[in-house]
Amino acid sequence: MTRTFTSEMMPTSATTTERPAFLYLLGVDGGGTGTRVILADALGQELARASAGPSGLMHGIPAAWQAILTAVDAAFAEAFLMRPNLDQIAIACGLAGVHNRAWAEEFSLANPGFGGLVLETDARTTLLGAHQGRAGAIIALGTGSIAEALLPDGSCREAGGWGFPSSDEASGAWMGLRAMNHTQQAVDGRVPDDALARDVVAFCGGSRDAMFVWLAGANQTRFAQLAPFVIAHAQTNSVARGIMLSAGVEVQKMVNALDSVGTMPIALCGGLADAVLPFLPEEVQQRVSKPIGDSVAGALYLVKKNFMKTVA
């Protein structure tokens, strides 16, 4: 029988003899840009990694499961293994969009047959990976953004992560939205034209009309595709630099919201962490560190914790 758990019902108190054995374990990290998986054997030893398209729940439940299954098949192929029936596999998914309880329930109900499923936010699996399950905090910057802390008493605290476009400060989508607004003003002649605006116009089709077409289909993922232009021009363009410095201030706000007294280890995580780091206020730069592991490693930790007979 399939066992499905969420953060509210994870069997953390179950004894090891109560946990079912599976041939393989899978950790999944799914966001608005892509999906990554780690395939491990029944003892939790990593066998292979693979990736696929986005599986954040904002893209729809069928699309999320399809991306995950594509990545899973690729991982078995990478390991030169034939994939068994899904009921012999336990999987932990850390996905963007799990905060939406309706989406999370729909995703769990659409389980294509995995024998064990535990579902968490991608922020929670990032947190578990960053500090190997120990107390600490993370600021995760990717397509979206969120800050989360695991306190010594086992409780969690969050800041940000309300979703694009109203939140996700300092994220790729947040940067891209600001770059697009600047570009629109440059095209109109409201502000001087510059290299950042020209790159965005070219990326979106090369003309005002093409930009309207691009914008008609723009979502969080597409706006995040503009972030590399902001990063590339940040040293030479005042607008791009201003966006990056504003991102640094937003990170500072999240850090202070999680740990105002400055005693907690904080890991700066996600695909944009290295790009944003130089633009953080100095006091924040001195506090943050690199994560021990990433979100997909945190998902593997989670599936091992819930479904291995003995936990490493």
SS3 89: strand
Residue 32 or residue 139, greater confidence = 139
Length of the chain measured in residues:
312
Question: pLDDT confidence of 209, banded at 50, 70, 90?
Answer: very high
Residue 49's Cβ-count burial label (10 Å; 0-12, 13-18, 19+) is middle
Task: Flag whether pLDDT at 7 surpasses 60.
Answer: no
Distance, CA of 43 to CA of 160 (rounded, Å): 36
Question: pLDDT confidence of 19, banded at 50, 70, 90?
Answer: low
**Domains 3-131+294-307 and 135-290 alike in fold:** yes
Which position has the token pair 């990056």?
244
Of 5-9, 55-59, 93-97, 262-266, which range is least confident?
5-9
> Which top CATH class is 135-290?
alpha beta
CB atoms within 10 A of CB 127: 31
Question: pLDDT confidence of 201, banded at 50, 70, 90?
Answer: very high
H helix runs in 79-145, sequence order? 101-109, 122-131
Over residues 193-212, the mean pLDDT reads 98
Share the mean pLDDT of the chain. 91
Question: pLDDT confidence of 261, banded at 50, 70, 90?
Answer: confident
Task: Flag whether pLDDT at 101 surpasses 90.
Answer: yes
Q: What is the pLDDT of residues 274-300, one digit of tens each?
A: 999 999 999 999 999 999 999 999 999
Confidence (pLDDT) at 31: 86
Identify each DSSP E strand in the chain by its residue range. Answer: 3-6, 24-30, 35-41, 46-52, 89-95, 116-121, 136-141, 145-150, 156-159, 266-269, 288-289
Look up the CATH number of domain 3-131+294-307.
Answer: 3.30.420.40
Q: Give 150's strand partners.
A: 136, 156
Q: What is the pLDDT of residues 216-259, one digit of tens each?
A: 999 998 999 999 999 999 999 999 999 999 999 999 999 999 99
Distance, CA of 171 to CA of 242 (rounded, Å): 14
Q: What is the pLDDT of residues 39-93, one digit of tens each?
A: 999 999 999 999 999 999 988 999 999 999 999 999 999 999 999 999 999 999 9
For β-strands 266-269 and 24-30, DSSP reports them as unpaired
Structure tokens at 286: 């001195």
Distance, CA of 297 to CA of 281 (rounded, Å): 29
Task: Flag whether pLDDT at 154 surpasses 90.
Answer: no
Nearest to 83 by CA among 108, 115, 56: 115
Domain ranges across the chain = 3-131+294-307, 135-290
Measured over the CA atoms of residue 169, residue 170, residue 173 and residue 178, the dihedral's sign is positive
What is the share, in percent, of the chain residues with pLDDT greater than 90?
82
Nearest to 91 by CA among 44, 5, 36, 26: 26
Structure tokens at 259: 């740990």
